[in-house]
A = this chain, B = another copy of it.
Amino acid sequence: MDLLDVSAFMKDYEQHCSKVQRKHFRKNETITNYIAKRNQVCILVSGEADLIRYDYNGNKTIVEHFSKNDIFGEVFYMITTNNELFVRAKQDCDVIFLVYDNLKKPCDANCKFHETLKENLSELILQKVTILNSRIELLTKRSTRDKLIGYFSILSTRNFSKSFQLPFSLTDLADYLSVDRSAMMRELKSLRDDGFIDKTGNVITLLYK
């Protein structure tokens, strides 16, 4: 149930709306970094990408993971501390770049894409809030085990199934949950040993309840 299926509007915007830019990115390219582009809004049309932060220790954090139709951009961030923050393509990506202030105004060319975005803007941002709140719930869990279980049940709910694929490598999952990889592996093993989950390749199955 996508609030906004961007691809549906592609033709319209490409023909009419001058304020909208589309770019293609290859795997591992940097889509944008968050430095003083206060107004930038991006929409991922296709592909997968991560918002990544490195701290002064070299610890990597996957702040968010984006897939088709997700929105991101520096407009969602405060004047940040001093950590580098950037979005990297995990696969080939198509991205639309918009300017937030333009979005709120009516479109010069009266294009449908622009209008639809404008109408759905608060809904889109609201959806983002709910996603961030879930993420906060996950991050406030006290142990690595609880984080894993919490994350797995989100995936399970999203998939309407006890079984689901991990959208991350285990290395990335650790960076997403903000824990040490080896400690996470240990916990994963113990979840398996205790009969809470089954893991075959990158498919997890919940065995509890």
Q: Contact check: which of B63, B104, B125, B141 meets A136 at CB < 8 Å?
A: B63
A131 CA / B146 CA spacing, docked (Å): 24
Shortest Cβ distance from residue A134 to the other chain B in the assembled complex, whole angstroms: 6
Interface string of A106-128 (1 = CB under 8 A from B): 00000000000000011001101
Nearest-neighbor residue (CB-CB) of A119 within chain B: B104
Q: Contact check: which of B77, B130, B139, B141 meets A78 at CB < 8 Å?
A: B130
**Stretch from A53-61, A89-97, A186-194 forming part of the interface with B:** A53-61
The A interface is mostly helix, strand or loop, or mixed, namely helix
Interface string of A58-98 (1 = CB under 8 A from B): 01010100000000000111101101000000000000000
Contact B63 A137 (CB under 8 A): yes
Q: Contact check: which of B61, B135, B140 meets A178 at CB < 8 Å?
A: B140
Contact B133 A133 (CB under 8 A): no
Shortest Cβ distance from residue A166 to the other chain B in the assembled complex, whole angstroms: 19
Shortest Cβ distance from residue A32 to the other chain B in the assembled complex, whole angstroms: 15
Nearest first, the 4 closest Cβ-Cβ pairs linking A and B are A122-B122, A139-B139, A132-B132, A140-B178
Please give 5 more A-B residue pairs, beta carbons under 8 A apart, in addition to A125-B125, A129-B132: A63-B133, A78-B131, A81-B137, A125-B126, A135-B136
Please report A residues at the B interface, Cβ cutoff 8 Å: 53, 55, 57, 59, 61, 63, 75-78, 80-81, 83, 104, 121-122, 125-126, 128-137, 139-142, 146, 150, 153, 178
